[in-house]
Structure 1
Amino acid sequence: MTDLFPPRPTLPPQPTPPLGTSEAPQPQPRRRWWQRAVVNSRKTPDRPCLNCGDETVGHFCPQCGQRKADVRVSLRRMLMEVMEDQLSVNSALPRTLWALVFRPGHLTREYVQGRIVRYIPPFRLYLVSSLLFFVVLPFIADPGELQREVEEGIRADSVREATAGPGAVRDSSIRAGGRNVGVRVQRGDNNNIDLNMGVKDTLKVPGPLRPLNRRLLAGEKRLNSLPPGEAIRTLTETFEENAPTGVFFMMPLFAFILKLLYSRRKRFYVEHFVFALHVHAFAFLMFTLMMVLRAGWLNAAMGAWFVIALYIAMKRVYGQGWFRTLLKFVILGWAYLFILMVGVMVTSVLTVLSV
């Protein structure tokens, strides 16, 4: 009987699930449309390298270093992957934008405390927001439209001079669509129109500045050789090209002012620079929305919120009292306003030199 019925093989004991759980697979959370790029990734770690044929499993080939990925993909799929790689378009983008706009100082505090991966990095956030601003800016301040408005203003001055008598419009500011473009028009003896950008005679400036002044006079002469409308358009386009560089170089000065104001807090300069990156990213985002919306009361509200948010961010990041933070906020505002004016002057000089 024992031979007819052999003993059954004993199976290893199965682990019992914890109380309150089920052995059925748990449903996966539904992914949003901006998170599908992670699922539809074109990474092929199990396939051989398409460049050298190495069969080692991995995302990169250990022989030639090429990334293992499909190259024949749709444009939508490629764009989604670029957004995922460059902007962290999963939950990081909405979380970062919400904190940037409605939680002043939160991003800087999280970065300093080491919680980095859940948000877009500060430098990348600044680059994207500034790029968005300077991409939208030419559509709002269109140099071609400005050129047409300037030419119409000059023709109106010519008609007014013809009706009022010769020499009635000898020196006036060019206005385009009600906006003063900051350049004055002068009529010479031969009735030509020249642009006066305030460049002094070389003999009236100090000796070390005379080479620079001669180059400015040469740039003004080149602009006066063009029609006034075209000269204004050239100045506007060149200034818009130089503005991103000027703002980028003013940002370390913003962080340096914070370093001086909070010298007793024993913080590294990098912490102030990260705060400056977040502040400028917030400013570019607000200014972009203000340019696009063009709503008077809404723009005023966003401008007021920017000032209030900067004050709250300083209070949260540096942890000082309300009155002391207010005092340093005012000092920071006046100091950076002076730096901004100097930056605009330097950018204007570089604009004239590069036309």
Structure 2
Amino acid sequence: MSIELEAAAADSLSHLVGGGRNRHMPPHGSHCKNCDAELVGPFCHVCGQGADLHHRSILHLIYEAFEGLFELDGRLWRTLPALFFKPGGLARDYIDGRIVRHIPPFRCFLVALVVFIFAAQNMTHRSTVISQRNVARENARLATPQGRAEAAAKRRTEAAKDLRDDLKEAAADRDEELKDKDVSPQKTLAAYNRRIGRVQARYARSMHHADRVAQGLPAKDPAEDAAKPARPDKTRWFEKGIKKAADDPDQYWNVVFNWGHRGAVGLLPIVGLSLALVYRRRKDLYVYDHLIVAMNLMSFGFLVSAVGFLLPFSAMGWYFAAAAVWSLVNLFQTLRGGYGSSLLGAGIKTLVVWSITGFASVLLLTGLLVLAVATI
């Protein structure tokens, strides 16, 4: 009796996990709809297309779409844990050609990049919403006499503090220069007087702004911009871009993200070539192998950053500090396990690759932000 029950349970389980697919198989001797090869099983042995003839539901079509994009099969659950916790073994598998057991590295890189972009856009949108709420709250406070008086008093207090600090710093610098016998006292005092004039003018402007706030007017007087000397046309485009970015931060960050994925792809060869540089004596490895490893490293970085962008702003600082340490450890594990480096060798190469990548990232990010200002 128990044997019969086990057989019945096994038959039911086979239907749950896909055994029911055979109910929709074509008759024996049928040919593949794609390549016309004779079928000998549920999949064509020539092109791999399924021989299932039944009409799939809409939910099944949605599942297939996600499966094609994210590889929702056993490879996903083997690749992601290895990407985060065993990057050396994952890199070793790719280098040794054991690829079919994992998600293709470039597909993993692209999916991680898409997730990163969406998470970053969500973060900037949240930041914009918070900023708009703060502005609305401040405007509501300035709409009352008490609120205007408090805001004006705060500006006056800050201006007085800045004046004291600036005067103290200017006097200290003056006294230090006067100790140098090679410096002309007259020039030092003249420079000091000019500096004091600028400090006092800045204090006067701050007090004027406080008076305007107390009167219910915008803090900045439009006459100030009119009194400024006109700048050359070579720099006006940048000022206009900055103003547009400040007026519409959502649009600015959309431009940044539109260029961002291109910059991220441009960072890929930099990481790959930095790996090729530190392993230039390994004749058994090619640039292709280094690029595969670079895709894994960047996929890890994108996914870790995407998680951080979804956190509350109060937790981001701690998270990204821990993520920076984790990235170093991940890189070390990759070089140690994937390339078989010694502890000392992997440590030194980790610092070299980390430094090159960090410097290139700063340059790319700076260029990206400036480019977004120029094209907004």
Identify the TM-score tier after normalising by the shorter chain: 0.5 to 0.7
Compare 294-303 and 246-255 and name the one that shifted more. Answer: 294-303
Q: Which has the higher strand share?
A: 1
Which residue of structure 1 lines up, in the alignment, with residue 129 of structure 2?
Answer: 145
For 1:141 and 1:95, the matched residues in 2 are separated by 32
1:283, 1:306 within 8 Å by CA — same for their partners in 2?
Answer: yes
Which residue of structure 1 lines up, in the alignment, with residue 262 of structure 2?
Answer: 245
Which residue of structure 2 lines up, in the alignment, with residue 14 of structure 1?
Answer: none
Which residue of structure 2 lines up, in the alignment, with residue 285 of structure 1?
Answer: 303
For 2:23 and 2:263, the matched residues in 1 are separated by 39
1:221 and 2:240 matched: yes
- Identify if the C-alpha distance between structure 1 residues 147 and 318 changes in structure 2 by more than 3 Å, giving closer, same or farther: same
- Identify if the C-alpha distance between structure 1 residues 163 and 340 changes in structure 2 by more than 3 Å, giving closer, same or farther: closer
CA deviation vs aligned residue, 1:244-278 (integer Å, no higher than 9, x gap): 11111111111111111110012210100000000
1:111 CA displacement: 1.5
Equivalent in 49, 53, 58 of residue 32 of structure 2? 58
Q: Which amino acid aligns with 1:130?
A: L
SS in 1 for 2:72: coil
For 1:329 and 1:97, the matched residues in 2 are separated by 22
Which residue of structure 2 lines up, in the alignment, with residue 261 of structure 1?
Answer: 278
1:122 CA displacement: 0.3
1:343 and 2:361 matched: no
Q: Which runs of 5+ in 1 are unaligned?
A: 1-23, 48-54, 172-185, 194-199, 203-213
Give the structure, 1 or 2, with the largest relative contact order (CA under 8 Å, sep 6 or more). 2
Which residue of structure 1 lines up, in the alignment, with residue 176 of structure 2?
Answer: none
CA deviation vs aligned residue, 1:206-234 (integer Å, no higher than 9, x gap): xxxxxxxx4x742532553x5x7424333
1:129, 1:284 within 8 Å by CA — same for their partners in 2?
Answer: yes
Which residue of structure 2 lines up, in the alignment, with residue 270 of structure 1?
Answer: 288
Which residue of structure 2 lines up, in the alignment, with residue 167 of structure 1?
Answer: 205
CA deviation vs aligned residue, 1:157-179 (integer Å, no higher than 9, x gap): 994499638611899xxxxxxxx
For 2:133 and 2:104, the matched residues in 1 are separated by 42
Equivalent in 108, 118, 121 of residue 91 of structure 2? 108
Pairing 1:83-122 to 2, within 5 Å after superposition = 83-122=66-105
For 2:21 and 2:236, the matched residues in 1 are separated by 59
1:325 CA displacement: 1.6
2:274, 2:353 within 8 Å by CA — same for their partners in 1?
Answer: yes
Q: Which amino acid aligns with 1:93?
A: L
- Identify if the C-alpha distance between structure 1 residues 252 and 39 changes in structure 2 by more than 3 Å, giving closer, same or farther: farther
1:327 and 2:348 matched: yes
Q: Which runs of 5+ in 2 are unaligned?
A: 1-6, 37-48, 143-147, 157-202, 210-218
2:92, 2:339 within 8 Å by CA — same for their partners in 1?
Answer: no
Q: Which amino acid aligns with 1:190?
A: A
For 1:31 and 1:187, the matched residues in 2 are separated by 75
Which residue of structure 2 lines up, in the alignment, with residue 20 of structure 1?
Answer: none
1:93 CA displacement: 0.9
1:313 and 2:334 matched: yes
For 2:20 and 2:69, the matched residues in 1 are separated by 17
Q: Which has the higher helix share?
A: 2
For 1:147 and 1:333, the matched residues in 2 are separated by 34
SS in 2 for 1:257: helix
Which residue of structure 2 lines up, in the alignment, with residue 190 of structure 1?
Answer: 223
For 1:114 and 1:26, the matched residues in 2 are separated by 39
- Identify if the C-alpha distance between structure 1 residues 307 and 56 changes in structure 2 by more than 3 Å, giving closer, same or farther: same
Q: Which amino acid aligns with 2:287?
A: Y
Equivalent in 129, 140, 154 of residue 112 of structure 2? 129
For 1:343 and 1:87, the matched residues in 2 are separated by 28
Q: Which amino acid aligns with 2:132?
A: R
Q: Which amino acid aligns with 1:274?
A: I
- Identify if the C-alpha distance between structure 1 residues 45 and 244 changes in structure 2 by more than 3 Å, giving closer, same or farther: farther
2:263, 2:364 within 8 Å by CA — same for their partners in 1?
Answer: yes
TM-score, length basis structure 1: 0.66
SS in 1 for 2:206: coil
1:354 CA displacement: 1.7
Aligned alpha-carbon RMSD (Å): 4.4
For 1:140 and 1:255, the matched residues in 2 are separated by 29
SS in 1 for 2:205: coil
TM-score, length basis structure 2: 0.63
Aligned residues: 288
For 1:244 and 1:93, the matched residues in 2 are separated by 23
1:336 CA displacement: 1.2
